[in-house]
A and B are shown apart, each in its own frame.
Chain A
């Protein structure tokens, strides 16, 4: 069997712009309105989304900028130059583990949601396995191919989200949005808390910028890409509050899924919008899971240079599956998700600060 090869293993900055929202938009978007609404009053939650979003965009830009200042060098290479090889190895390894956990969490969560809403009889184990098999198949192929797949899926995902918002508008009640700005400062901070874990994933840039042909343009594209989920999350949140009201939103397990169930397509011809929404959303989760798993593999191949990619992938896959089956119920799964989201977010900030300060102290030259 001859496999198709792309002309080169490089990507353009536009693909980075697509990859960032592709990995960020995942299962978090289905549940974040719940935790956010329970911290804030009425629709005030949009503020933490925005502030958290701005922080996320900034960090994204910093990561891209830093990686781009070492053109065509992998994370391990330039990190070694800054903080010595052993420490760089540890940093890379932790990245790999964290990315792997994102993939694990996404897979488990989508398997649970699918079982709840669509596959009543199918065991979670089977749904997760089937999903994982497809993800492995995607990761085993060309890395550039993954980016092409993202570019193919993302417009469809954004389109279905806009449809969801439009079809929900006729049930939108603006009274639900009031009163405005009655949330106390501490509650806003707690709200930020719940948003941040839905913004993770931009850590992939540490590894993918090396693939970009013209890395100089990458920081801007990455930042623009990161704006997409910020805007979408604000829209989803406001629509959720407008349709359900704060009190109901905080009591729904997956407000966005309920929104899809609630949406009404005019004309009564097509009654169940949620079926379409689910199909498309699984594509979004697939994007997130493949990129996360791929980054994990990518990081490990840079450590174990002699081991082929496929071998690493086939060692990781059973681990992904087994760890995903650990949490016993939906509470444990969501706690796991929050914990990972947090860790990845903070770890990314930590690495940016670490590399920058140590680099400056030791006088490593960042190009421009």
Chain B
């Protein structure tokens, strides 16, 4: 072997040793997979600084078991709480308390307590790290909790194994009900925060036998502070106007008989008369169609005029619900939670540019506008039977 060959071989081996490998390797067992986070406002310390307490739900895979081998009795997760005044600092503090490095790549939820959300600016500042950090994904959902947020991570998750998964799946079912708003992801919230418009986030609370995911928290866009809430009915009205929800139930009455209409498709159309910005007229048309899901009483449905009567009643009900929400938005909140601003921007950009700063604030063009709602409902089907019981004696 010549000297040259020898040198070549040595170089090859050196390269093999020096250039192969991974600087950043983390063994998968050493990762603490954070699947959900709860953020609370903890008591202010003596200096008057605001302290945040962060609770991470970390999966412990050993307890989770495999499909064939049930896990042990212990809960398959660890809830770890730490306090501090910067989220990043808290995360670093957590390293001292848990053997596995928290990894947020698979996180699904961030639950923020109402108390923190009421604090102007703090809400947005707290979310900064969630949007900025490259490990976080923009698909993480944000939920506002009534009371302590960390308590929600302790609920009994049956039939799921992890509380976060339980909540996550409930939020995914939102399309079935118009009393809940669609989940809001970090990406969308980033959009909300960058705009000055008001917005709504879903709300969650604990009741006796589990969690209650309904209603919405209203945020003022100028300082990103939570200013109010919407109950189930008001959320329903808002969803109907925004046309966000695809399915939902509307209860109405015909001749004092309770009936349920299963909404399958709703379309909205917004027309705005912008000639006089101080006195805008807004026309909202809601076109809904669906089927009759439940009927009390025993009138036959094969009568077209009866169907017509029902359709009128449902339209009335929808208009009522919408008016209720509009009333709340215009008079109580004075915030455009109905996204009429968006339509204005899309269709009347010139006017929008002139007035968008005063839309919800100062002159509040939104509250001074007159909003008319009309609904047009079609009952397409009535289910598999005409009536279920014999005609009663009326």
CB within 8 Å of B: which residues of A?
116-122, 126, 130, 133, 175, 178-179, 182, 243-245, 247-248, 251, 258, 261-262, 264, 271-272
Contact = CB atoms under 8 A, between A and B. Distances in A.
Interface residues of B, number: 19
B346 A179 contact: yes
Contact of B190 (A133, A179, A248, A264): A248
| Interface-central residue, A116, A118, A175, A248, by most chain B CB under 10 Å | A248
Contacts of B187: 243-244, 248, 262
B317 interface: no
A245 B191 contact: yes
A184 B139 CA distance: 34
Contact of A244 (B134, B191, B342): B191
Q: Which 4 residue pairs of A and B lie closest in terms of their CB atoms, listed nearest first?
A: A122-B23, A178-B346, A179-B349, A247-B194
Given A244-B191, A248-B190, 17 more contacts: A117-B134, A119-B24, A121-B24, A126-B23, A175-B342, A179-B345, A179-B347, A247-B194, A247-B195, A248-B187, A248-B194, A251-B190, A251-B194, A261-B137, A262-B137, A262-B139, A272-B105
8 contacts: A175-B342, A178-B346, A179-B349, A247-B194, A248-B191, A258-B138, A264-B139, A272-B105
Contact of B23 (A121, A175, A178): A121
A121 B137 CA distance: 20
B19 interface: yes
Interface in B160-206: 187, 190-191, 194-195
Nearest to B345: A179
Given A251-B194, A262-B138, A262-B187, A130 B19 contact: yes
Contacts of B24: 118-122
Interface of B: 19, 23-24, 105-106, 134, 137-139, 187, 190-191, 194-195, 342, 345-347, 349
Nearest to B137: A261
A17 to B, nearest CB: 34
A119 B134 CA distance: 11
Contacts of A264: 139
A299 B207 CA distance: 75
A262 B139 CA distance: 7
A346 B390 CA distance: 86
B133 to A, nearest CB: 10
A261 B138 contact: yes
Contacts of B105: 272
Contacts, number: 45
Contacts of A133: 19
Contacts of A243: 187
B5 to A, nearest CB: 10
A251 B132 CA distance: 11
Contact of B345 (A119, A178, A251, A271): A178
Nearest to A129: B19
Nearest to A275: B105
Contacts of A262: 137-139, 187
| Interface-central residue, B23, B134, B346, by most chain A CB under 10 Å | B134
Contacts of A120: 24
A262 to B, nearest CB: 5
A116 B134 contact: yes
| Interface-central residue, A116, A119, A122, A179, by most chain B CB under 10 Å | A179
A178 B339 CA distance: 14
B182 to A, nearest CB: 12
A328 B19 CA distance: 26
A50 to B, nearest CB: 22
Nearest to A245: B191
Contacts of A175: 342, 346
A277 to B, nearest CB: 14
A119 B194 contact: no
A264 B185 CA distance: 13
A122 B195 CA distance: 37
Contacts of A117: 134
Nearest to A120: B24
Given A122-B23, A179-B349, A261-B137, A271 B106 contact: yes
Contacts of B137: 261-262
A251 B347 CA distance: 25
A119 B23 contact: yes
A330 to B, nearest CB: 13
Nearest to A251: B194
Nearest to A252: B190
A251 B193 CA distance: 11
Contacts of A179: 345-347, 349
Nearest to B135: A120
A247 B191 contact: yes
B264 to A, nearest CB: 20
Nearest to A257: B134
A183 to B, nearest CB: 11
A133 B106 CA distance: 34
Contacts of A126: 23
Nearest to A243: B187
Contacts of B139: 262, 264
A133 B19 CA distance: 10
A281 to B, nearest CB: 15
A160 B190 CA distance: 26
B27 to A, nearest CB: 14
| Interface-central residue, B195, B346, B347, by most chain A CB under 10 Å | B346
Contacts of B194: 247-248, 251
Contacts of B138: 258, 261-262
A271 B191 CA distance: 23
Contacts of A119: 23-24
Nearest to B189: A248
A262 B131 CA distance: 12
A264 B24 CA distance: 26
A49 to B, nearest CB: 22
Nearest to B136: A261
Contacts of A271: 106
A178 B347 CA distance: 8
A122 B190 CA distance: 29
A251 B346 CA distance: 21
A195 B138 CA distance: 26
Nearest to B139: A262
A269 to B, nearest CB: 14
Contacts of B134: 116-117
Contacts of A178: 345-346
A175 B137 CA distance: 23
Contacts of B349: 179, 182
